């Protein structure tokens, strides 16, 4: 999988760069208003504490929330690991760090992250639909040959059923566990079946935020805030690079970038991100060299702060990157 990801990243970077003049790309970077660009990076970085705060509600049990500080460190460590380790190891690292720093069960943390991803997907899907509607983009518009309409339908077919299954499981825990105990008993040796049920019970704890309507509403609102702040960062960077497009282009680009980096790629998602930016801005008539200049600058600038913050959190937590690698290999 790691080799395939590197190959995909290399091919996408070749497509992004093969027909642009490097001098034009550098020229756009030199002409950028860097004070505004630095502001956009600061706004982009602010989504990580927002994400950590939302995570507190996802991990809340019996009215008690986990402290913000350990979840902030776990979040920074997780996204740093995504930038440096293959196969989206940051998700495992984040759950592992939450276990070490906040005393949360690993499987509970994983369950909460699954809910987080589903909520993110649904909010991004809604913002993408908003961008298409208000931005005057036709349903037949395609990005890199992929229909926006089909992208939206495909995302809905993933996230809506996933949320429905999660709701059913969390509101029918006994039925779910009984059914899965029977399945595991048939498919696995006794000790492995018991281990699998124990993991499932932890996962159910991670889904408990779906039981409370008020807590689910709060999580949804913080999800909207998270992605609106992220969209603001993209728009500020547009302004910095003199890219004159409808403001909804920031929401569309953000949604497509979030979906695009889900494909196998190199650590840090280099290649998919740049390809999505170039293809998306192309539908607004932005020249390729300007889009590539924006993509490379934004990606590198967003990569550095969270990576440094992740290393700082590792040091504060007395953890080591080697522990995250070992945990990923064990699948813990």
Task: Encode pLDDT of 281-302 as tens digits.
Answer: 999 999 999 999 999 999 999 9
Grouping H, G, I as helix, E, B as strand and the rest as coil, residue 146 is: strand
- Return the percentage of the chain with pLDDT > 90, whole number: 55
Range of lowest pLDDT (53-57, 66-70, 244-248, 324-328): 324-328
Q: What does the pLDDT read at residue 17?
A: 94
Rounded mean pLDDT of the chain? 88
Q: Who's near 77: CB < 8 A, 6+ residues apart?
A: 93, 94, 97, 310, 313, 314, 317, 319, 324
Number of neighbours of residue 62 by Cβ within 10 angstroms: 5
CA-CA distance, 92 to 199, in Å (whole number)?
A: 14
Count Cβ neighbours within 10 Å for each residue of 212-248 and write b for 16 or more, e otherwise. Answer: eeebbebbeebbeebbeebbbbbbbbbbbbebebeeb
331 pLDDT higher than 60: no
Q: What does the pLDDT read at residue 265?
A: 87
Q: What's phi and psi for 75, nearest 5 deg?
A: -65, -45
Tokens of 87: 């196969």
Best CA proximity match to 268, nearest among 89, 82, 92? 82
8 pLDDT higher than 80: yes
CA-CA distance, 99 to 1, in Å (whole number)?
A: 27
Grouping H, G, I as helix, E, B as strand and the rest as coil, residue 284 is: coil
Q: What does the pLDDT read at residue 53?
A: 96
Model's pTM, two decimal places? 0.89
- Give the angle 265-91-195 at the CA atoms, nearest 5°: 125
Confidence of residue 321 (pLDDT cuts 50, 70, 90): low
Contact between 130 and 255 (Cβ < 8 Å): no
Tell me the mean pLDDT in the region 73-101.
89
| Tens digit of each residue's pLDDT (9 = 90 or more) over 157-186 | 888 898 888 888 777 877 877 887 788 778
Name, of 40-49, 124-133, 323-332, the range with top average pLDDT: 40-49
CA-CA distance, 278 to 215, in Å (whole number)?
A: 38
């Amino acid at each position: 999988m790691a080799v395939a990801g590197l190959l995909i990243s290399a091919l996408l970077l070749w497509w992004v760069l093969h027909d642009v003049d490097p001098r034009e790309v550098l020229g756009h970077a030199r002409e950028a208003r860097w004070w505004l660009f630095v502001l956009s990076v600061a706004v982009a970085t602010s989504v990580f504490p927002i994400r950590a705060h939302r995570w507190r509600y996802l991990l809340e049990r019996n009215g008690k929330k986990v402290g913000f500080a350990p979840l902030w460190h776990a979040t920074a460590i997780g996204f740093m690991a995504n930038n440096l380790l293959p196969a989206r190891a940051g998700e495992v690292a984040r759950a592992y760090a939450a276990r070490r720093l906040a005393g949360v069960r690993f499987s509970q943390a994983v369950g909460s992250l699954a809910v987080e991803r589903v909520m993110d997907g649904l909010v991004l899907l809604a913002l993408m639909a908003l961008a298409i509607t208000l931005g005057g983009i036709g349903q037949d518009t395609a990005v890199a040959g992929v229909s926006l309409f089909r992208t939206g339908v495909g995302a809905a077919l993933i996230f809506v059923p996933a949320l429905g299954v999660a709701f059913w499981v969390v509101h029918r825990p006994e039925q779910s566990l009984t059914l899965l105990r029977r399945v595991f008993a048939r498919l696995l040796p006794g000790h492995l079946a018991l281990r699998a049920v124990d993991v499932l019970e932890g996962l159910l704890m991670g889904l408990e935020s779906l039981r409370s309507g008020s807590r689910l509403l709060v999580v949804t609102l913080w999800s909207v805030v998270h992605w609106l702040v992220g969209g603001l960062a993209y728009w500020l960077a547009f302004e910095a690079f003199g890219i004159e497009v409808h403001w909804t282009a920031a929401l569309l680009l953000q949604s497509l970038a979030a979906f695009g980096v889900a494909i196998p790629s190199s650590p840090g998602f280099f290649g998919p991100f740049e390809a999505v930016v170039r293809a998306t801005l192309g539908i607004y008539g932005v020249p390729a060299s300007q889009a590539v200049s924006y993509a490379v600058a934004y990606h590198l600038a967003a990569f550095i702060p969270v990576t440094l913050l992740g290393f700082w959190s590792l040091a504060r937590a007395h953890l080591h990157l080697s522990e995250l690698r070992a945990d990923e290999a064990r699948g813990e």
